[in-house]
Amino acid sequence: MISHKEALALLAENGVEGGLLQHSTASAAVMAALARHFGEDEQLWALTGLLHDVDYPATMQEPQRHGLAAGELLAGKLPEEAIVAIRAHNGEMTGVMPQSRLDYALRCAETVTGLVGAAALMRPTGYEGMESKSIKKKMKDKAFAANVNRDNIRECEKIGLELDAFLTLVIAAMKAEHDAAQPAA
């Protein structure tokens, strides 16, 4: 399995930068938190989150290939279970539907980062003091972060977490990742 440093280099080589890189690192943080919660392999789950969109710059015009091309690129670099999860995170387009806890975890984790990240940008205090109830309210507002698939977020129940518990975990993980990325004062 490749290292975190090698994964970051692979993202750079494939044109993952800016907002997409932020999404990838937030997805990795949420996946690591989920792995800790469930007693799963934290490194594997974090790398799965980090690399799930490695092919996006090359496949954005061909959404039916997004996830499949990543699987090809990552063959031999990640275990098969991670590659299946990456293919399944875009299952509606790839035809690879989620089946395992890792598959569903990636789908709900990578999707929720857009909603929580957008909510943090709208708040004067960012992630500080953010609560799951405010994110649930944002989920009901279809105009807010309109491209975020709320049904994918609700798949957290398929991995054994109620929505409130999932959102609380996500907020904490994204806040910690955000805080760690800030330059020292």
Report pLDDT digits (tens) over 53-107: 999 999 999 999 999 999 999 999 999 999 999 999 999 999 999 999 999 999 9
What are the C-alpha distances in Å from 55 to residues 16, 43, 65, 72, 142?
A: 8, 20, 9, 10, 28
Report if residue 73 sits inside a domain. yes
Range of the domain at 99: 4-179
pLDDT-flagged residues of the chain (< 50): none
Report if residue 116 sits inside a domain. yes
Looking at residue 78, the DSSP 8-state letter turns out to be B
Q: What's the chain's Rg over C-alpha atoms?
A: 15
Q: Any bridge partners for residue 75, and if so which?
A: 78
HEC-encoded secondary structure of the chain: CCCHHHHHHHHHHCCCCHHHHHHHHHHHHHHHHHHHHHCCCHHHHHHHHHHCCCCHHHHCCCHHHCCHHHHHHHECCECHHHHHHHHHCCHHHHCCCCCCHHHHHHHHHHHHHHHHHHHHHHCCCCCCCCCHHHHHHHHHCCCCCCCCCHHHHHHHHHHCCCHHHHHHHHHHHHHHHHHHHCCCC
Res 181: pLDDT: 86
Res 184: pLDDT: 72
Res 118: pLDDT: 95
Q: Any bridge partners for residue 79, and if so which?
A: none
Q: 28-38: b or e for each residue (b if 16 or more CB lie within 10 Å)?
A: bbbbbbbbebb
The pTM (predicted TM-score) of the whole model is 0.96
Report if residue 63 sits inside a domain. yes
Q: What is the largest CA-CA distance in the chain?
A: 47
Q: Give CA 147 to chain center in angstroms.
A: 15
Number of domains comprising the chain:
1
Res 185: pLDDT: 63
Res 183: pLDDT: 82
Find, among 55, 7, 14, the residue nearest to 28 by Cα: 7
Report if residue 184 sits inside a domain. no
Report if residue 185 sits inside a domain. no
CATH of the domain at 83: 1.10.3210
The Cα–Cα gap between 145 and 162 comes to 22
Res 182: pLDDT: 83
